[in-house]
Amino acid sequence: NAGVTQTPKFRILKIGQSMTLQCTQDMNHNYMYWYRQDPGMGLKLIYYSVGAGITDKGEVPNGYNVSRSTTEDFPLRLELAAPSQTSVYFCAAGQATYNEQFFGPGTRLTVL
């Protein structure tokens, strides 16, 4: 099992560009999450999903959008990229019963 996979690993965007960060899990977990991590900081929740077709905002949703059409996939969309969105983005999957979350390898995004 691959667990949680993310693509791309690295990306440089120009201000105002858009992109989609991909996240796929093969663990059959209903719950999925997107976090951002800035240098020296913990993880901030951007969006989460409790199942296909159901998403909700986390702590820092502005500038992002998500969709969840299948159990496996949970893409994160950045519209009109801004330098403040320079960060490392982690996708995670989990089962609420245990609160344990399994993380993907991350995407390092730079907006110039």
Partner 1 sequence: QKEVEQNSGPLSVPEGAIASLNCTYSDRGSQSFFWYRQYSGKSPELIMFIYSNGDKEDGRFTAQLNKASQYVSLLIRDSQPSDSATYLCAVPAGGTSYGKLTFGQGTILTVHP
Least Cβ distance, residue 78 to partner 1 (angstroms): 20
Nearer to partner 1, 64 or 106 (CB): 106
Neighbours of 85 (CB within 10 A): 18
From the list 111, 109, 112, 95, the residue with the least C-alpha distance to 33 is: 95
Least Cβ distance, residue 40 to partner 1 (angstroms): 7
Binding-site ranges for partner 1 (CB under 8 A): 31, 33, 40-43, 45, 48, 50, 56, 58, 90, 94-96, 99-106
Output the six-digit token pair for 32.
Answer: 């999925």
Q: In what order do the strands lie in the sheet with 64-66?
A: 4-7, 19-25, 76-78, 64-66
Nearer to partner 1, 17 or 71 (CB): 71
Nearer to partner 1, 43 or 82 (CB): 43
From the list 27, 26, 17, 32, the residue with the least C-alpha distance to 78 is: 17
Least Cβ distance, residue 112 to partner 1 (angstroms): 21
Least Cβ distance, residue 15 to partner 1 (angstroms): 26
Nearer to partner 1, 79 or 100 (CB): 100
